[in-house]
Structure 1
Amino acid sequence: MELSRRNLGKLTVATGAAAGIGVAVGVAADAATWKVTGTAVPALAGFDNQMKTFMQARGVTAGQLAVTYKGRLVLARGYSANATVVQPTSLFRIASLSKSLTAAAILRLEQDGKLKLASKVVDILGITAPVDPRWSNITLWRLLQHLGGWDRAVSGDPNFKDAAIAQALGVPMELKHADVIKYMKSQKLDVAPGTKYSYSNFGYLLAGRVIEKVSGLSYEAYVKQKLLAPLKIKRMALGWSIAKHTGEMSYESQYTGKTVLNNTGSTVAAPYGTFSMRTQDANGGWIASAPDLVRWAKMFDAPSAVLNSTSLGRVWSKPETGMDPGGWYYGLGWHVRPVTTGGTGRNTWHTGSMPGTSTLLVRTYNGMSWAVLFNRRDDASGKSYGDIDAAMWKAANGVRTWPTNDLFPQYFS
């Protein structure tokens, strides 16, 4: 998810016992407790330095980084500033980086002749009598490129309106996917499908249900079997709202809010119940390590057993509308910026953000990629987490000679 600061502001600052599990209020990344794991690579020390500077300035206690060059994993590091030790294989919620998995799963189903991107969502899912007849114009293409007709700036993000949806439908929380869909089909679209780019978590929630309906498998099972297993990625899984998987980090925030996991109205730590990981699955529910993510990103470099050349070409297709004046557009699960000066090709990336999580995955036109994961996204001083992008580019541009090592065999066998 790419949850806006507008939504963050609806939460309250955690104090005392209300902070709950995984919360740290005003925690400083103390140099005395600073720990780094993974193989040190002197030529890439600039990345370590940037991570330390970034985390200490924001009080982030757990971070992770993986870097590839020309298809080789050259750096895999865990960074921690408290008693917890972050390994290169530790797991973090990755939020909206999940969208590239969902889009690739739809492409794989098309590749296998199970559906077409031009198919209408209402036909596949059997959605009948939506209040807005324009639902019939929502194709999978439009769904995956955020052209479905929902504008969260106008009507809010339904993936974070659990209490309102529960009240409207007269159902208890925790919501199910079917509840969100039932509510949304009773609402008017904000714009005509295909006419405006507007980032939509709900669109990817629907895409997840398409995967389940067409494949006959759960969303998680299909992604693991068809996309991750061929790449020997075994650690990735859907995360849970409260419990943690083995090796998963704790999440921190200065904020609290009301739980959406039941109807008690209890105040909880923002990362643990102010949103439901169950309904976030296809738009932001995965957990992964940074090496897992750059391994996944490498899949998009060339045709493979996962996606063929036709499918890969579709990933980078320009949308029918909604080109940003800044020169980027949204392909299928990735932001895309064609390189027009100093080279050819494209830079592609995605960010992820939810309470307790801030993530970035980048693929560059000149053969570099990196994944950066943190266990919080807020800071009492208001420093931007978006600054990590420039920090990683600065580190990459400062490398004089790229090492020839490859750590992929160490982490994937």
Structure 2
Amino acid sequence: MRRLFTRGIFLKIILFTCFYLWDVAMSSSGGSTTDRVLRSEQIQPISYSINNQLSDLDDFRDVEYNLAFLLGKFDMKGASVAVAKDGRLVYARGIGYANTESNELVEPRHMFRVASISKLITATAIMYMAESGMLSLKDNVFGHDGILNDSIYLDYTDNRVERITVLQLLNHSAGWNRRFGDHMFMPHTVARSLGTDPPVEVPDIIRFALGKRLHYTPGTRTSYSNLGYAILGEVISKVSGMGYEEYVRQAVLYPLGIQDMRIGGNLEEERFENEVRYYEQDNAIRVNSFFSVDSIVPKSYGGNDIRTLGAAGGWIASPAELLRLVVAIDGNPRVPDILSAESIKLMTDSGLSGGHTIGWTGTDARGNWWRTGTFAGTSALVMRQNNGLTWAVFFNSSTYRGTTLAREITREVQTALNRIKEWPDHDLFYHLETMPFLYPDIAELR
């Protein structure tokens, strides 16, 4: 039986490799972008191949109990959690409801908005491009000699924008702060200033920002900037000659076997088939929609423009698939990384980067790294610990605690994980059902 099991995995790897090389060859021979994406998406996503029953493990009961406690404490509807040990996915489980209206329970396959965790995805793509020689972190972004030297970006008020580098966008030191509002969350102000009608897109927001003076000289201080990462999305698109999302999926995610992560939609009717429904507090205030001042909507469905946030906050993912990315950029030698040790060090050492950590929310001296994401209707956290543990927890609800919820999540999850004395030896990343269409007789190998 063990021989058959090993042979099955070996055959699966060969078939996946052949399929991927064929896909690359077809894309090089002029196949359409749509065809390339559709062919890649025939592969069953990791999170579709696993279910709650596979993680019905006694050693992880405290994880379930502690997350259920948080759901009750903050009146949240559902959560999804995944845990990796030394690069192996050992646990992935949903708790509560993906959709209370249909009584659909959360399963590992469900996708959640991850808000600013999107910045980690974007930063990884930029670092990958830098290592591939497609750009340099020292490259200037604006001006006639900059990456974004299109005519629409050459009409700027402050000549200091010509000093902005790719690295400064990554580490939040490019010259913008949120003292007068966040550029990415003021669509009506942007539209009025440009004399256009909403909705606005990223190029419009960049033009609006370039029409104002910078808040400080680039590289002299740091201030968290959603705009900076939105600009990085345009940099990726310009340098690659592809759409931002398409490049990230084709160059970074697909080679890792990550098939289901994507930019989400704005409205409830735009939810993907396996995407959860989002819930706000009962007393949440409705707001003007991003596309019309005459429309009052929940902030989670039409208040924030998820697609325009894109590189700064627009991705949706399951915890399991996100961990597949994180274990490939975590510096743990047990799983090969897609970035060099030098790039990973630069991303996690704010002293080296000359500003904020790159992609990550923060790191500590003990080697723990974390990334948070919060929107109306969603809360997300991914943590890379110094003991080989990596975990992610997503909620389909927002609370009045906002960003401070991350501390409570960390406490509850770490308390539960610290009680586990013996870790499972399986790896759900390579569960036998991951690619059933490639090997239809896989059940015979069990």
TM beyond 0.5? yes
- 1:335 deviation in Å? 3.2
Mean Cα deviation higher: 266-275 or 201-210: 266-275
Measure the CA separation in 2 of the matches of 1:321 and 1:288. Answer: 28
CA contact 1:46–1:399 (8 Å) conserved in 2: no
Paired residues for 1:17-166 under 5 Å? 38-81=54-97, 82=100, 83-122=103-142, 123-126=146-149, 127-152=153-178, 154-166=179-191
Structure 1 residues 183 and 89, CA gap change in structure 2 (3 angstroms): same
Aligned length: 366
Paired residues for 1:208-357 under 5 Å? 208-242=233-267, 243-254=270-281, 255-302=284-331, 304=336, 306-319=338-351, 330-340=356-366, 346-357=367-378
- 1:311 deviation in Å? 3.1
Gaps of 5+ in 2: 1-50, 436-446
Percent identity between the two aligned chains: 33
RMSD of Structure 2 on Structure 1 (CA): 2.2
Q: Which residue of 1 aligns with 2:423?
A: 402
Measure the CA separation in 2 of the matches of 1:78 and 1:408. Answer: 16
Measure the CA separation in 2 of the matches of 1:320 and 1:335. Answer: 16
Gaps of 5+ in 1: 1-34, 324-329, 341-345
- 1:307 deviation in Å? 2.5
Structure 2 length as normaliser, TM-score? 0.78
- 1:305 deviation in Å? 7.2
Measure the CA separation in 1 of the matches of 2:52 and 2:384. Answer: 24
Structure 1 residue ranges (4+ consecutive) displaced by more than 4 angstroms after TM superposition: 35-38, 302-305, 319-323, 381-384
Counterpart selection for 1:178 from 197, 200, 203? 203
Cα deviations across residues 346-387 of structure 1 (Å, max 9, x unaligned)? Answer: 1111000111110001001110011100011124x9895221
Mean Cα deviation higher: 102-111 or 358-367: 102-111
- 1:336 deviation in Å? 3.9
Cα deviations across residues 33-91 of structure 1 (Å, max 9, x unaligned)? Answer: xx966521111222111111011111111110001111111110011144121111100
Structure 1 residues 264 and 136, CA gap change in structure 2 (3 angstroms): closer
Paired residues for 1:354-365 under 5 Å? 354-365=375-386
Measure the CA separation in 2 of the matches of 1:57 and 1:87. Answer: 21
Choose between structure 1 and 2: higher helix proportion: 2
- 1:318 deviation in Å? 2.7
Q: Which has more radius of gyration?
A: 2
Cα deviations across residues 160-203 of structure 1 (Å, max 9, x unaligned)? Answer: 01111111111111111111011000111112211222111000
- 1:124 deviation in Å? 0.4
Which amino acid is 2:263 matched to?
L
Which amino acid is 2:276 matched to?
M
Counterpart selection for 2:212 from 176, 187, 204? 187
CA contact 1:162–1:173 (8 Å) conserved in 2: yes
